[in-house]
Amino acid sequence: MYSKLLIYHKEVDNMHDYSGIHCPIITPFKTDGSVDEDGLRNVIEFVLKEQKCIGIVPCGTTGESPVLNNEEHLRVIQIAVEQANGRVPVMAGVGSNCTTETLHLIEESEKLGADSYLIVGPYYNKPTMEGMFAHFKAIASATNKPIFIYNIPGRTSKNIEPKTILDIAKASTNVIGLKDAAGSIDQTMEIMAGSRKLGKKFYVLAGDDQMVFLILTLGGDGGICAVSHVIGKELMELFNEYKKGNIENAREIHFSILPMIKALFSETNPSPIKAALEMIGVINSDPLRLPLVPMSTAGREKLRIELKNLGKI
């Protein structure tokens, strides 16, 4: 059990509704390996205007945050804030396996105007649940902006247990949501049942893109979906149809986009997303930073077929 359960009663600086589909935007690179700032602005405009996403998330997994240095990381967040220009919330990915580094990124991102923060569970260190709680408590106490926990044990090697997620949310008023990529519907249900007793709005957003429909049926709020670069409009239609009570329509959309979701995760994210955006014409080229490499020739051909099937190219 945690040594002390401290409750932070601070006024949360939040003007946004986070219900819907958010895009964890890619970080385009030029062929020389530098960040393609014009390409990044083009991607943001595309996901907002064409894909109808209601929020953007720079510097997440899809944005290749592990291979961005601190200067690049903050510059990507700055461009996202500038380009969004208040149209949608910018949820900056600033999580790290080092609490001090996360606090530094938050301090700098505050100056840039980020609306909220996505904090991934500490990776590699494999902290205990007490360590997880202390990590998020320290982060939450450093800002009054909304914080979303990002639980993705497949990448971090450590699951944040449901009780710990709920304890973190209970202890800090500005922890208002979860990006759920734990891959366990049982865990999702336990968190959602417990969140009903928190006495505040607690968003549960799908982090596994194929789970958006199921998350909604449990009372969740949408998703932070890499595939929204390509099928954001369809996911937003699914979301809107469900909210209007047109459950069968939402279900049909869900099943119709599953092949595209499968194709976009057929190789390590964000390789297929970048390949798709190049095929569509949103970015000029699709380099990634090592150790990630561009999509294979065979994978690209399968992806091209799915893009054609949906009329994307």
Active site residue 150: yes
Architecture of domain 20-244: Alpha-Beta Barrel (3.20)
Give residues with Cβ within 8 angstroms of 255, minimum separation 6.
Answer: none
12-14-20-25 Cα dihedral, nearest 10 degrees:
-100
Q: Is the pLDDT of residue 193 over 90?
A: yes
**Predicted structure pTM score:** 0.94
- For residues 83 and 113, the answer to whether their CB atoms sit within 8 Å is no
Site of tokens 């209601």: 54
- For residues 313 and 279, the answer to whether their CB atoms sit within 8 Å is yes
The arithmetic mean of pLDDT across residues 10-16, rounded, is 73
Task: Grade residue 8 by pLDDT with cuts at 50, 70 and 90.
Answer: very low
Task: Grade residue 13 by pLDDT with cuts at 50, 70 and 90.
Answer: confident
Q: Exactly one of 117, 179, 242, 274 is catalytic; which is it?
A: 179
Q: Is the pLDDT of residue 127 over 60?
A: yes
Q: Exactly one of 18, 117, 145, 150 is catalytic; which is it?
A: 150
Give residues with Cβ within 8 angstroms of 88, minimum separation 6.
Answer: 48, 53, 54, 55, 56
Q: How many residues does the chain have?
A: 313
The arithmetic mean of pLDDT across residues 115-125, rounded, is 97
State whether the Cα torsion 55-275-281-313 is positive or negative: negative
- For residues 174 and 147, the answer to whether their CB atoms sit within 8 Å is yes
Strand partners, 44: none
- Of 66, 52, 167, 148, the closest CA to residue 106 belongs to 148
Q: Is the pLDDT of residue 10 over 90?
A: no
Task: Grade residue 3 by pLDDT with cuts at 50, 70 and 90.
Answer: very low
The model's pLDDT over 248-276, given as tens digits with 9 standing for 90+, comes to 999 999 999 999 999 999 999 999 999 99
Question: How do beta strands 147-151 and 175-180 pair?
Answer: parallel
The model's pLDDT over 51-87, given as tens digits with 9 standing for 90+, comes to 999 999 999 999 999 999 999 999 999 999 999 999 9
